[in-house]
Structures are given as C-alpha cells and as structure tokens.
Structure 1
C-alpha cells in the first residue's frame, strides 16, 4: 500500500495531466525531494520483501522443528530494520537535491509530467536500484535452487507418499514464487538499462515499470496462499473440522429423536 501511494504520487498522477497546471506554478523545492525519497524507499522495500520471504522459507526448510523461534528472531532483529532502514539509507541523499516537475517526452502528450530530481541524481538512483535489485535477485535465485535441491533430496529419500506429495507442492510453490519475482526484475532492469544507455528512449519503456511492480506485489501473496502447503493444510483442516462438526450435530439430533421416541 505504501509503495502504490508513493509510485502514484511520483509517476502515475503527474503523467495523467491532472496536476500539470498546479505544478506549473510551483518552483522547484525540497518537498518534491522528500516525495522522491519516499517513493524510492518504498520501491526498495518492495524489492526487499521477496528476499525476506525466500529467507524465511529457507529457515523453515532447514530447521522445521525450531523455525518459529528462528523466524521470530529474523523478523525482530533483521527483517524490520532491513526493510525500513536500508531503503532510507540508499535514498536519503536525494534530500540534498531540489525536486521539480519535468515534462515527459514522446510518446507522452504535452502536459504529462513526473517528479524529477535531475539527470545526475537520477543516474545515481538508477545505478543503486539496478545494483541492489541484481544482488537480491541473485541471492533469491541461489536460495531457491538450494531449496529445490533439498526438496528433491527429501523426495528421493522418502518412502511416504504423503511426503512426496507435499514436496511436489512445495516445489511448485517455489517455481511460481521465482516466476513472480522474475517479471518485475526484467521490467525494472529494462527501464534502468535504457536510461543509462539511451536517455531519449527512456520514456518509451517507462510504462513497463508499474506493470512489473504491480505484478510482483499482487502475485507474490496469491502465489504463497494458493500454492504453499502450509495454507493448503489449513484449508483442509478447516474443511475436516467443519465436516466433523456437522456429523456430530447430526448424531446428536438422531440421539435426541430416539430418546423422544
């Protein structure tokens, strides 16, 4: 939610043309810089979330008996500082610049603008964003391949059909999770690379950025909920409990009827 709001203020609302006349009467100021820091920080936070999910799944796989304690430590002492403090550290230098409204080039119409920090600062931001996203994506991929390896070893060494079925579901969940993280990485990398190589063509590929980010923020929770065995077991147990409760009620009704008779 925080990312959607920041991205909306930074890109979507200005390039719609609704605030063009308002921005035309405002001088470059530091308030725009703070908005840019907020937008970039939330973007980095979104990039961090798949990494944290993958790390927690790795902990659950490695230590299934004590994973609750380890995940609690991870959440309190690493996840929260990592998601909030690291993005601020990577974007806080933008406070020193002066943000302003910039007219977008073709294919955008006249009046389509964005909040901009200048080419020099934008280039630094893109270098940081590209490096950070590449590092986390490579780390996620390595952890995912390791989890695939552990699940495959468990599948081959186990003789239980139930265990093999659960490992297949876990592998499918990992596959969908890595696919959902590949799409935004590709779209953001295309936008960043085009900006660094050919600045004039950046506006032509800018539409890919929100598509990839929206895909990740919506697909990742659904992938985990629909494919992860943990949620599947909860659904199954809920169904079983419902059936057992209905059966118990029917038995009680029958017994009460027999007593009356």
Structure 2
C-alpha cells in the first residue's frame, strides 16, 4: 500500500500495533479491486461484438451476459485472494534501497504460504490476451459489416465511433502492459539496490489509471457523448438505421 504515508506519524502508529486482521482488510480490498479493474474492461468489446454480430437478438444475449457475467466478475477475485482469509496484516519495513522508517502494509501467515505477485501477473496476461482477441474479433465484424454498405451509407458518426473504440482498446492494452512491467520489476528487483526497485511506488497509481483513464478516453472520443440527443445504440456505433442498412444489403 504505497499510497499511504510511509514515515512520520503513520510509521510511529504502525510500530505500536500488533499484526491484526484490520490491516489485512486494507490490503485485501486493494487487491480485490485491482482484479476487478483488470476484468471489467473485457466486457465492453464483448457487449459491442454481440451487438454487431447479432443485430436481431443482441438485447437478449447481452442481457444474459450482464446478468450472469457481472456477478461472476465480482466473485472471481476471491479465487485469487482467498489465501488472505487466515492471514494477518502487518506493518513491514521496506527492503533496500528504502531508508529506515519506510514501511508498507503486508501480510503474514497466508494460506499455503501463497503470495499475490504471480497471481496478479498471470491475470494481467490472461485479461490482456482475451481483451485483444475480443477486440480483434470486433474489428473484423465491424469491417465486414461496413464493407456491405456503400460509401454514402457509412455515417461520420460511425467512423468516429470506430476510431474511438480503437483508441480505447489501445489505451486498455497500454495499461495492461504498463502494470505488468511494474509487477515484473517488483518481482525481480525488490530488495536490490537497483533503481528499478522504486517502480513499486508507481504500480498502485498505474492500477488507478487503468480504471480512470480508459473510461475518460472513451468518453472524450466517442461521438455519443458529444451530442445532446443520442440513442443508446450509438454508444456502440450500431444505430438502428445502420443495422437496417446492413441487413438489407445482405439480401
């Protein structure tokens, strides 16, 4: 928990308390929400892909995806944080090159001696991979649908929406890679005298940026949020008129 102050009053307070479950809860919720931040962006390309691929039944399909996918996404971080249930939170002195008094909240006595680092790394790789695959399938489906329309039928809003999704996808991938890089630096360099060991300080902020910046990129670039009156379908660049033209072109 590098966002908490690591010197002064906080250090003195930590020195007076024994390991306990309350400190563990701080770390538990930090890890829990980090896993949520990794998984929820995957739903955006999936929902949009369903709209483009199944224009007649996307409401029913996406309703089921949201109904069952969101609860599963909320529950799944427990699979990678369960080892913290018997653990105790402790204020721990940071290893070199951090000076004396630089502390962080960590845990001891975890179930089976498990640690979070590799769970986090494998999740980053998994969610980045499936997000890239989902977006590639989405781009292929959108390009296929647009190729069936004549140039005059392809609206400017549709092109802007497609560009917005592309930029948002690149932002998502960038933050997956960035967080993975910080995590690898922690695994290989923490406790050494290398300057890379200081990268751990930036990792929590990278997790926050993944949640906030991707959302803002989508909001600032998508045409649906640049007009006063818009249809909810425009958010996914699949307006009803666009779908009707695509369906008519098939026949």
TM tier relative to shorter chain: 0.7 to 0.9
Name structure 2 gaps, 5 residues minimum: 232-251
2:36 to 45, 53, 56: 45
Counterpart of 2:248 in structure 1 is none
Larger RCO (alpha carbons 8 Å, 6+ apart): 2
2:89 to 94, 99, 102: 99
Conserved? CA contact 1:37–1:92, under 8 Å: no
State how 1:1-261 maps to structure 2 within 5 Å: 10-15=1-6, 17-82=8-73, 84-106=74-96, 108-118=98-108, 124-201=115-192, 203-232=197-226, 234-237=227-230
Conserved? CA contact 1:34–1:95, under 8 Å: no
Instruction: Summarize deviations over 1:55-89 as a string: whole Å, max 9, x none.
Output: 2122222223433332222112121231x210122
The structural deviation recorded for 1:120 is 8.3
Conserved? CA contact 2:95–2:190, under 8 Å: no
What is the rounded CA distance, in whole Å, between the counterparts of 1:149 and 1:119 in structure 2?
49
Change (3 A) 1:91 1:97: same
What is the rounded CA distance, in whole Å, between the counterparts of 1:165 and 1:143 in structure 2?
24
State the superposition RMSD in angstroms.
2.7
Instruction: Summarize deviations over 1:85-120 as a string: whole Å, max 9, x none.
Output: 101221021122222111224554543321112598
Conserved? CA contact 1:28–1:101, under 8 Å: yes
Conserved? CA contact 1:104–1:114, under 8 Å: yes
Name structure 1 gaps, 5 residues minimum: 1-9, 239-261
SS at match of 1:99: strand
What is the rounded CA distance, in whole Å, between the counterparts of 1:199 and 1:114 in structure 2?
13
Deviates more, 1:52-61 or 1:162-171: 162-171
The structural deviation recorded for 1:127 is 0.8
The structural deviation recorded for 1:154 is 2.5
Change (3 A) 1:113 1:183: farther
What is the rounded CA distance, in whole Å, between the counterparts of 1:226 and 1:65 in structure 2?
29
Change (3 A) 1:112 1:229: same
Larger Rg: 1
- Which TM-score applies when normalising by structure 2? 0.78
Please identify which structure carries the higher helix content.
1
Conserved? CA contact 2:161–2:223, under 8 Å: yes
Q: Which runs of 4+ in 1 moved over 6 A?
A: 119-123
How many pairs align? 227
Conserved? CA contact 1:103–1:112, under 8 Å: yes
